[in-house]
């Protein structure tokens, strides 16, 4: 978007859908839902479903949240506020009640009480015990110090790293320095930019697609609908797998080179290895 949009203040008691509809239909810039659908590359029926609260018409929660965020940004709303309200409506997070907030504040305000007499009494008992058995304590301390000295003498010289190993490690690190791709499309938004310097695998959405990245244990580390131009920097790991809702809409760059498409357009594909060597075996695009 080239021109600044009007920021519309949401009404607190509105639902997420009412906030979106109110932002679109009021103010100086009333807009048709069909126009926004074409601009965001989101089906008109999905935007209608968001405004009316008919979330069952959208296949998964990740799509609902992704579409709502893009819609809110386009309408000039605070996307975090809309998403928070939407998550509460979907039951993803629960609203805290006033009673819970009050009980938490009461617990936090209660000071920790320390009985000084009890502490002093235990301290006196401990001192008497040490005085009575000082020989045992002295012997134990001496044995402990002896074991430390003996351990240093035996194992102290085994942690050295040979210079050749250090040089080899430096060379390997330099060999995998990430190269920023020459993206085919203007960048819309960057995700996980903290991985930008070491990311060997980088994704860019050509068209709208849901992208989910899982680690070796199957836990999701990234799940989002990417819209055209969005870029995702992959963490440095050979154990990651991906699921694409529209695999043909995703450009995959490995070490700065674009590889061939991982599948046809409008096709969902799961369990794709994101290891750089595995992706290179697909072949590079011409």
Domains of the chain plus CATH, in order, are 1-109 (1.10.260.40), 190-280 (no CATH)
The pLDDT tens digits of the residues spanning 265-277 come to 999 999 999 999 9
- Specify the pTM: 0.43
The pLDDT value recorded for residue 50 is 87
Q: Helices 61-75 and 16-25, interaxial angle, to 10°?
A: 30
| Mean pLDDT taken over the chain | 81
Outline where DSSP puts E strands in 154-230.
190-191, 201-205, 209-214, 220-226
Task: Kindly tell me if the per-residue pLDDT of 171 is higher than 60.
Answer: no
Percent of the chain residues topping a pLDDT of 70? 79
The pLDDT value recorded for residue 252 is 95
Find out whether 209 and 222 touch, Cβ atoms under 8 Å. no
**pLDDT top residue among 118 and 94:** 118
Find out whether 8 and 77 touch, Cβ atoms under 8 Å. yes
Task: Kindly tell me if the per-residue pLDDT of 161 is higher than 80.
Answer: no
Q: DSSP string covering 245-272, please?
A: TTGGGEEEEETTEEBPPSS-TT--EEEE
């Amino acid at each position: 978007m080239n021109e600044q949009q009007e920021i519309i203040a949401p009404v607190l008691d509105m639902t997420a859908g009412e906030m979106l509809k109110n932002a679109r239909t009021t103010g100086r810039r009333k807009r048709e839902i069909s126009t926004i659908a074409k601009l965001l590359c989101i089906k008109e029926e999905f935007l209608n479903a968001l405004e009316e609260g008919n979330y069952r018409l959208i296949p998964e929660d990740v799509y609902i949240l992704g579409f709502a965020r893009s819609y809110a940004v386009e309408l000039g709303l605070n996307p975090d506020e809309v998403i928070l309200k939407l998550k509460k409506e979907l039951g993803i997070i629960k609203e805290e009640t006033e009673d819970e907030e009050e009980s938490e504040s009461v617990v936090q305000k209660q000071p920790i009480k320390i009985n000084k007499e009890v502490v002093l009494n235990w301290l006196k008992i401990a001192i008497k015990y040490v005085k009575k058995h000082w020989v045992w304590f002295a012997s134990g301390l001496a044995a402990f110090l002896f074991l430390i000295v003996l351990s240093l003498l035996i194992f102290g010289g085994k942690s050295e790293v040979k210079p050749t190993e250090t040089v080899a490690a430096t060379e390997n690190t330099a060999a995998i320095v990430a190269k920023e791709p020459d993206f085919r499309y203007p960048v819309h938004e960057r995700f996980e930019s903290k991985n930008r310097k070491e990311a060997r695998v980088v994704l860019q959405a050509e068209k709208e697609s849901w992208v989910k990245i899982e680690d070796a244990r199957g836990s999701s580390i990234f799940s989002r609908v990417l819209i055209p131009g969005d870029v995702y920097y992959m963490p440095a790991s050979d154990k990651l797998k991906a699921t694409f809702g529209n695999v043909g809409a995703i450009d995959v760059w490995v070490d700065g080179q674009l590889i061939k498409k991982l599948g046809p357009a409008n096709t969902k594909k799961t369990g794709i290895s994101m290891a750089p060597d595995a992706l290179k075996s697909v072949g590079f695009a011409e």
